[in-house]
């Protein structure tokens, strides 16, 4: 990445810590998957199994996060009848492409963006593990696949190494991989924007509305960060050299929706994860609640109150995107 894109002289160290969050997320997801919270046959090929158990409240938090994002993502695919593209921003080791392929729900094209170092690792796994590469090859027809150290372009799946704070470079790379601004576009940012300053994430959100006439963005991240519990979360991350540069946008559900409305989105909503959890299919919630005994109910509630899913739409084609909700 270009050094100038970071917040200061320590930007390389800061970015390295941000890149490290990618492992945290995937290791926690893998642990929850291996404990039966949801099915993901692909995550095992990207990260090792955690050495230590994760607490039940962490597993339930990840369950709510993954199911919540999937629920809105699937609703977008239904509204557009898969005649759309998805761009996963800061995708890390996310496995959604492989899930959608298995469920016959692939969009016309699925893009992923992350720092080049993360993309290189992801590509290494894809290249060396047939369960990951086969679905990409199966959906690829015609010309030979374009592959280098920091990108791959196939008919239905593309991954690029780029910095989300360098929009010109990112856009150029996406265009090279046949991103089509006229297609209904779903952007996903799961625990990503919080690592950028409010100005940098606002530029990204504005770029999206300037580029795509019909779009939705799903964002998962912290909220209510100004209270005591929120401050402890910030301090814990800082101790690991990880600075939440975007924490000011995570004050409230209102600050989360306002960031969309001030960057050209037509509609926006934000729910804390407590609310999301209560609105997930309750049969499955009852199933996962039986998996492990939860001692710390209050801690789970606090955790869920300090994360949210926010989403926004812009709908030039009149597909009814503003109606998507839990
Ligand atoms: C907490 S991880 C989440 C990964 C994935 N979205 C998930 O939820 O499993 C944050 C990801 O965002 C990426 N990221 C953060 N800032 C970025 C930037 N400026 N440019 C590219 N990627 C970035 C990190 O490298 C990391 O993979």
Q: Answer whether residue 173 shows pLDDT above 50.
A: yes
- Is 53 one of the annotated binding-site residues? no
Ligand 1 mean position to 275 CA, how many Å? 25
Q: What's the 92 CA to ligand 1 centre distance in angstroms?
A: 5
Mean pLDDT of the chain: 94
Whole-prediction pTM value?
0.96
pLDDT at 256: 98
Q: Which of 43-57, 84-98, 195-209 has the lowest mean pLDDT?
A: 43-57
Q: Which residues line ligand 1 (CB under 6 A)?
A: 18-19, 21-22, 25-26, 90-92, 94, 114-115, 118, 163-165, 190-192, 195-196
Q: Which of 192, 233, 242 to mutate to test the pocket of ligand 1 (most atoms within 8 A of CB)?
A: 192
Ligand 1 centroid–CA 13 distance in Å is 15
Closest Cα to atom 23 of ligand 1: 90
Does the structure show a pLDDT above 60 at 136? yes
pLDDT band at 6 (very low <50, low <70, confident <90, very high): very low
Which whole number is the average pLDDT over 183-211? 98
Give the position, in ligand 1's atom list, of the atom nearest the Cα of 5: 19
> Which residue owns the Cα nearest ligand 1 atom 11?
90
- Between helix 297-305 and helix 56-80 the angle, nearest 10°, is 40
1: pLDDT strictly greater than 60: no
The superfamily CATH assigns to domain 12-323 is Vaccinia Virus protein VP39 (3.40.50.150)
Residue 166: how many other CB atoms lie within 10 Å: 16
Average pLDDT for residues 293-313, to the nearest whole number?
A: 96
pLDDT at residue 21 tops 80:
yes
The answer to whether 201 touches 89, Cβ cutoff 8 Å, is no
Neighbours of 235 (CB within 10 A): 9
164 carries a ligand binding annotation: yes
When pLDDT is averaged across residues 42-60 and rounded to a whole number, the result is 94
pLDDT of amino acid 36: 98
For tokens 């809105």, the residue is 72
Angle formed at CA 160 by CA 155 and CA 97, multiple of 5 degrees:
55
pLDDT one-digit tens code per residue, 248-273: 999 999 999 999 999 999 999 999 99
181 backbone φψ class: left, alpha, beta (φ>0; ψ -120 to 50):
alpha
State which ligand 1 atom lies nearest to the alpha carbon of 19.
Answer: 25
pLDDT at residue 47 above 70? Answer: yes
* Range name among 2-6, 46-50, 124-128, 312-316 with the lowest pLDDT average: 2-6
């Amino acid at each position: 990445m270009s050094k100038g894109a970071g917040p200061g002289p320590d930007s390389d160290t800061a970015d390295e810590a941000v890149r490290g969050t990618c492992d945290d997320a995937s290791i926690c997801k893998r642990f929850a998957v291996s404990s039966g919270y949801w099915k993901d046959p692909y995550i095992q090929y990207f990260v090792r199994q955690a050495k230590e158990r994760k607490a039940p409240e962490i597993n339930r938090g990840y369950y709510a996060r993954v199911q919540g994002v999937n629920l809105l993502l699937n609703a977008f695919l239904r509204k557009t009848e898969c005649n759309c593209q998805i761009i996963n921003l800061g995708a890390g080791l996310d496995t959604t492409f492989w899930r959608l392929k298995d469920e016959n729900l692939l969009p016309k094209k699925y893009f992923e963006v992350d720092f080049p170092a993360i993309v290189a690792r992801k590509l290494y796994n894809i290249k060396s593990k047939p369960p990951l590469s086969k679905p990409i090859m199966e959906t690829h027809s015609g010309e030979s696949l374009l592959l280098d150290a920091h990108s791959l372009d196939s008919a239905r799946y593309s991954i690029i190494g780029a910095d989300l704070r360098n929009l010109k470079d990112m856009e150029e790379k996406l265009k090279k991989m046949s991103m089509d601004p006229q297609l209904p576009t779903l952007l996903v940012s799961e625990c990503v924007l919080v690592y950028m300053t409010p100005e940098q994430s606002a530029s990204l959100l504005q770029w999206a509305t300037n580029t795509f006439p019909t779009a939705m963005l799903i964002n998962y991240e912290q909220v209510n960060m100004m209270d005591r519990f929120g401050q402890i979360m910030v301090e814990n991350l800082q101790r690991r050299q990880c600075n939440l540069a975007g924490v000011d946008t995570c004050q409230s559900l209102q600050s989360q929706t306002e960031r969309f409305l001030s960057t050209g989105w037509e509609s926006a909503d934000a729910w804390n994860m407590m609310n999301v959890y209560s609105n997930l299919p309750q049969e499955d919630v009852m199933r996962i609640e039986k998996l492990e005994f939860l001692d710390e109910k209050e801690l789970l509630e606090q955790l869920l109150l300090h994360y949210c899913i926010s989403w926004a739409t812009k709908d030039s084609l009149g597909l009814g995107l503003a109606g998507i909700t839990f």
